[in-house]
């Protein structure tokens, strides 16, 4: 299985609730575990940044220019909620290239894992909630442009609704969007996905898994995807600082196994991106993301 990673994924946010150093920590943990297991079934690949032409498949030229030149307006920065820098802009372009590469690998090899990406709050002409470039949308549009796929399913299990995803693919019959999230949480205006599962505060493992299972089966009864884009947020975790659900680490692993097994049994290639994770202990966020990689590898062996 291909693992996509670049040292440039770190958004270099400094002291921020978004621990963007997690990408390096996940890479290091996976590298260490693979070495200890003498597992040669994994390969780390480094992506190239998405080109402007690729970004323009989703985003407006003005937004891309201002982001790259560091000339975002004050209100745009307030909405984005992270400081502007060249390294930040470069990281988002790398993440979009990484998700596109992971999607290509998934089509060829059944599954692939981008140790980054999942920036599901980005809109065509602005960023929100730590997300400036919608890497998942860029990857889907690039693969559609190249006629590698026609149809993609996005399953978003971040604690926050994928509002950018819903807006970008609204009324687009080639992309089906599913988001399961805490209702009483950011974003407070939620454009409708094809399926939205709005969860009450404090939902734990049992109810979450039951409702996720129902939603994925309902999506697949209505839509026949050639690729599953899985936005694997770690923030439904009970100790997350920006979440209000109550999933355990074991429940999050079962969440991943559930979706991966359904897709694999139907022979749908799986591309994973990471999205959010803000646990009080960064080590917990890293563990949750590493577990997702291990669940994917185990499912497709």
Count of other CB atoms within 10 angstroms of residue 193: 24
Across the strands, what pairs with 271? Answer: 112, 229
Determine which one of 27, 59, 120, 121 is catalytic.
121
Q: Is 141 helix (H, G, I), strand (E, B) or coil?
A: helix
- Examine the residue annotation and report whether 121 is marked as an active-site residue of this protein: yes
- Any residues with CB less than 8 A from the CB of 291 and at least 6 apart, and which? 249, 252, 253, 256
211: its two tokens? 């409702």
Q: Give the HSE-up count for residue 159: Cα atoms under 13 Å, Cβ half-sphere.
A: 28
Distance of alpha carbon 161 from alpha carbon 17, whole angstroms: 18
Across the strands, what pairs with 240? Answer: 279
Strand 175-182 relative to strand 111-114, pairing: unpaired
Count of other CB atoms within 10 angstroms of residue 241: 12
Residues noted as catalytic: 121
């Amino acid at each position: 299985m291909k693992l996509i990673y670049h040292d440039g994924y770190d958004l270099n946010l400094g002291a921020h609730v978004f621990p963007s150093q997690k990408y390096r920590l996940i890479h290091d943990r996976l590298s260490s575990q693979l070495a200890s297991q003498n597992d040669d079934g994994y390969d780390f690949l480094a992506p190239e940044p998405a080109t402007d032409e690729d970004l323009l498949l989703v985003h407006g030229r003005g937004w891309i220019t201002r982001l790259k030149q560091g000339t975002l307006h004050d209100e745009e920065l307030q909405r984005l909620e992270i400081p502007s820098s060249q390294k930040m802009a470069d990281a988002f372009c790398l993440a979009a290239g990484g998700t596109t590469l992971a999607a290509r690998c998934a089509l060829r090899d059944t599954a692939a894992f981008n140790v980054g990406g999942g920036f599901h709050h980005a809109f065509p002409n602005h960023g929100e909630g730590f997300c400036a470039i919608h890497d998942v949308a860029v990857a889907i549009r690039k693969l559609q442009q190249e006629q590698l796929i026609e149809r993609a399913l996005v399953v978003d299990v971040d604690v926050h609704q994928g509002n950018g995803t819903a807006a970008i693919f609204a009324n687009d019959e080639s992309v089906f969007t599913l988001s399961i999230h805490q209702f009483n949480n950011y974003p407070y205006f939620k454009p409708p996905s094809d399926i939205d599962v709005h969860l009450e505060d404090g939902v734990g493992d049992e109810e979450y898994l039951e409702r996720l299972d129902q939603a994925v089966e309902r999506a697949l009864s209505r839509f026949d995807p050639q690729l599953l884009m899985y936005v694997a947020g770690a923030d439904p975790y009970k100790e997350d600082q920006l979440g209000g659900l109550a999933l355990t680490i074991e429940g999050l692993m079962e969440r991943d196994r559930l979706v991966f097994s359904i897709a694999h049994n139907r022979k749908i290639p799986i591309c994973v991106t990471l999205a959010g994770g803000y646990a009080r202990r960064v080590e917990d966020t890293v563990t949750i993301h590493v577990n997702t990689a291990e669940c994917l590898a185990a499912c497709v062996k």
